[in-house]
């Protein structure tokens, strides 16, 4: 089972899922927790190039290709082997982030980004995608209030960019209803963590 977590900045997805993972492990499930961009040494090196605030000259297509390259390496080295061993892989961000950020907000087009990602992933879609939906104004305010969360190059985009990201995610949830579940991330941390666990358990028990 391959589960991905998506959402605009400051949705609290990582905190919610950490709590859910603890419960799943207590129930005996074997979980591999990972993230994009990154998750393996080569992919983390690509991540550093993408997110470096100094790289203000980065071209949007270069950015999209780097995310796809990092994704490919991560699939080969980590996701595919773990899924093959019967583990549950839970990944912070995946292909839908490229569709929303590069395809939607950067304006490169969802179909163009889907095409390069079909090449990169050989058509590997998640079994389940949790969309932690939040108004970007609320999400960005959460990040600003959280001193331990480092601000990256994408965080520095204008509010309109982040609104576009959110709207594209909501559009993708309609396009892929079989794998998307929307979680209202404006609720309390406890409520969001509980909803996350319930959704994952429901899918595991299906």
Report the interface residues with ligand TYD, using CB under 6 A. Answer: 9, 35-37, 51, 67, 92-93, 97-98, 101-102, 152, 154-155
User: Alpha-carbon torsion 35, 63, 172, 118, what sign?
Assistant: negative
Burial class (CB in 10 A: 0-12, 13-18, 19+), 160: exposed
Q: Where are the alpha helices (DSSP H) in 6-131?
A: 13-26, 41-51, 60-74, 80-84, 95-97, 110-121
Q: Which is nearer to ligand TYD, 37 or 136 (CB)?
A: 37
Smallest separation, CB 59 to ligand TYD (Å): 14
Q: Which is nearer to ligand TYD, 24 or 71 (CB)?
A: 71
185, 7 contact by CB (below 8 A): yes
Q: Which is nearer to ligand TYD, 138 or 202 (CB)?
A: 138
Q: Which is nearer to ligand TYD, 101 or 169 (CB)?
A: 101
Smallest separation, CB 24 to ligand TYD (Å): 20
Residue 205 CA from chain centroid, whole number: 23
Smallest separation, CB 127 to ligand TYD (Å): 18
Smallest separation, CB 206 to ligand TYD (Å): 27
4, 127 contact by CB (below 8 A): no
> What letter would DSSP give residue 151?
-
């Amino acid at each position: 089972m391959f589960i991905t977590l998506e959402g605009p900045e400051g949705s609290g997805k990582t905190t919610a899922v950490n709590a859910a993972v603890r419960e799943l492990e207590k129930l005996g499930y074997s979980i591999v927790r990972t993230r994009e961009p990154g998750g393996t040494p080569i992919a983390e090196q690509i991540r550093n190039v993408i997110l470096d605030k100094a790289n203000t000259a980065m071209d949007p297509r270069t950015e999209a290709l780097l995310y796809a390259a990092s994704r490919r390496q991560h699939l080969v080295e980590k996701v595919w082997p773990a899924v093959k061993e019967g583990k549950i892989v839970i990944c912070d961000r995946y292909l839908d982030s490229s569709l929303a950020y590069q395809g939607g907000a950067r304006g490169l087009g969802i179909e163009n980004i889907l095409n390069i990602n079909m090449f990169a992933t050989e058509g590997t879609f998640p079994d389940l995608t949790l969309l932690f939906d939040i108004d970007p104004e609320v999400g960005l305010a959460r990040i600003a209030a959280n001193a331990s969360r480092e601000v990256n190059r994408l965080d520095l985009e204008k509010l309109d960019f982040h609104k576009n990201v959110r709207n594209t995610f909501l559009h993708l949830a309609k396009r892929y209803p079989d794998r998307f579940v929307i979680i209202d991330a404006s609720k309390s941390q406890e409520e969001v963590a509980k909803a996350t666990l319930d959704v994952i358990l429901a899918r595991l028990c299906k």
